[in-house]
Structure 1
Amino acid sequence: MKFENEHGIAVELRIAGYEFPEINRPLFDDWLMIEGDIIHPKGNWRFRDPALTVGEATSLGNWLEGLPTVGKRSSWGAMEPVLHFKLKRSAGKPILQIGFGCESAPPWLPKGKWIYLDFALAKVDMPDILHSWRGYLQIFPSRAVKYLTYIEAEDKDLTPEDFDENGLSKSFIAWWEANRSRPNPAEPGTAPTQASGTASASP
């Protein structure tokens, strides 16, 4: 997705791939590597960080699609404090603000501070932005294992001996190894092992 304003400021965000291309981390299979290129008068910068999950990236697209009618939810943020989106009004016109902090902040920004860049919503090509963003999500869909079947089947009191050195249940690991290559129940026909790696080009 790409945003530009009349001051020569531009932001391009893309999904570069899964944080862990191979499906071998039960709790982290849905984390995405987000890349950003920002053009700014004070100095251009770029970042690459596992800033969003598949669910959060999907939620961001839905939030953007709902602009400017967002009701009480005038901002959008994720679990990791890396990207933040806000809608404000200036002279009665909707303005989209994109915030960068922590790993996505420019090197010239004081540590711990955030910078917000403004884009007039009327000049944002939202259909193109949504098409591009959702194109990435088709390449990198959810791979998360659904735990409900395991949790319902697991009916015993666990002891310290039941966990491995990473604090995960050994019986869960065995269950996950046996089920990880099966299609996601929430997405019939989708094999989690088919989508991995990084994107070579924008959709």
Structure 2
Amino acid sequence: MLLTDHEHRIKLRALRYQFPVAIGDPYDDNWLVIGGEVTTPEGSWSFTDPCLLTDEARQITPWLRAAGGATPTDTPSDLHFLEPVLSFSHTGSGLVRVHLSHEAAPPWRDGEERLNGYDIEIKATTAGLRQAADEWERCLAPFPSR
């Protein structure tokens, strides 16, 4: 999935399950390793972290579509997950905020700054959000809940 504007670029992908073999544990069996590439005016970095459960990852597609106005607006403006590494929010006017903390925070942030996180605001278009939702849905297809 790619979220971008004239100053920012965030590419997220589901890379693999954290644990290749399912053992019957609803958490351990379903952690996805997410890869991210981020570019901002302050710098660029990448991260790889098992930060989303399969069910959480599937919440992103309808959220992106709602943020882009493609679905009814009963979707919450904020999207948070069990691990605080990645979260999303939107204002309803095309501004999407991606919050990156812990392992996903910029490498120039240290200690408490990494835990507090880093917000990136992207002025997204409706078409861009719909395309990102479609890309994310395709990316998740090989990773059903186990």
**Under a length normalisation based on structure 1, what TM-score does the superposition of the two structures give?**
0.63
Residue 11 of structure 1 is matched in structure 2 by: 10
* Cα distance in structure 2, aligned partners of 1:116 and 1:124: 22
Question: 1:6-40: CA deviations, max 9, x gaps?
Answer: 22x21000000101011236231111000100012
Aligned to 1:118: 121
Within 2, Cα distance between the matches of 1:4 and 1:72? 22
Alpha-carbon distance in 2 for matches of 1:141, 1:107: 32
Structure 2 unaligned spans of 5+: none
SS of the residue 1:139 aligns to: coil
Structure 1: gaps (5+ residues) = 144-203
Q: Is the 8 A contact 2:11 2:37 kept in 1?
A: yes
Flag the structure with higher strand content.
Answer: 2
Contact 2:52/2:82 (8 A) holds in 1: yes
How many Å apart are 1:123 and its aligned residue?
6.0
2:135 to 132, 135, 138: 132
Paired with 1:124 and 1:49, the residues of 2 have a C-alpha distance of 28
Q: Corresponding residue for 1:98?
A: 98
Deviation >4 Å, runs of 4+: none
- CA shift at 1:121, angstroms? 2.8
8 Å CA contact retained: 1:3, 1:124: no
1:95 is displaced (CA, Å) by 0.5
CA distance in 2 between partners of 1:43 and 1:20 (Å): 32
| Cα RMSD after superposing both structures | 1.8
Q: Percent identity?
A: 28
What residue number does 1:21 align with? 20
CA contact (8 A) 1:4 1:10 kept: yes
Contact 2:101–2:118 (Cα < 8 Å) also in 1: yes
Query: Matched residue of 2:10: which SS?
Result: strand
Q: How far, CA to CA, are the matches of 2:135 and 2:59 in structure 1?
A: 15
CA distance in 2, matches of 1:120, 1:104: 21
**Where do 1:27-42 residues align within 5 Å?**
27=26, 28-42=28-42
Report SS of the residue matched to 1:103. Answer: helix
Q: C-alpha deviations, 1:141-179, integer Å up to 9, x for none?
A: 111xxxxxxxxxxxxxxxxxxxxxxxxxxxxxxxxxxxx
Q: Contact 2:18–2:32 (CA<8 Å) still a contact in 1? A: yes
**For the pair shown, which has the larger CA radius of gyration, 1 or 2?**
1
Q: Per the alignment, in what secondary structure is the counterpart of residue 80 of structure 1?
A: coil
1:72 deviation in Å? Answer: 7.0
Q: What number of residue pairs does the alignment pair up?
A: 139
TM-score w.r.t. the length of structure 2 is: 0.85
